[in-house]
Amino acid sequence: MINLGPFSGRNCPNVHFRPALLDRFLEGAAILIFLTTCGCIFWLYTRKGEGLLPNVWIMGGVSLFTLIVMGACSYVPVRLINFPVRVNERNIGIQYLLAVRLTRVMNVILNLMFLSGAFLEYYKSAFVFFSASFVLLALAFVGYYILAFKYK
């Protein structure tokens, strides 16, 4: 269940959303970032060998878990989403579209955060990218809520 607010989509008609080019691009970007994370972990392993910290392996595992869960959440039916505004037959289409796009954008941002998190212990400049991921995540939530209340 995706919980974005107090209003359930259970009593609304089931909306089928065919992913657009932008949605496919976001899914592909998340997969590409995950593969880059795996490649960077392998690169760090070849450089550090046995001295590789467990945090790096954890970042890779959590990145895979996030990719699978957030990717699956992009395809949940409307009855499993709680929206921040009251939904009805008139606005369910746009609210569902916004919620699905938010999950895809979060998938990309979270995988970027895990990619930069793998380098935190080894490169001090990775903290900038790690912090920027949090800022992007906050901006995604703020943008979603602004659009959700605009189109209620």
For residue range 28-75, list pLDDT tens digits in order: 999 999 999 999 999 988 887 777 888 888 999 999 999 999 999 999
SS3 category, 150: helix
pTM of the predicted structure, to 2 decimals = 0.91
CB 94 within 8 A of CB 151: yes
Order of all β-strands in the sheet with 7-8: 2-3, 81-83, 7-8
Instruction: Label residue 21 by pLDDT band (50, 70, 90).
Output: very high
Could you tell me the sign of the dihedral formed by the alpha carbons of 21, 94, 100, 73, in that order?
negative
Region 81-86: what's the mean pLDDT? 92
Task: Quote the pLDDT of residue 9.
Answer: 82
Angle formed by the axes of helices 54-73 and 21-48, nearest 10°: 170
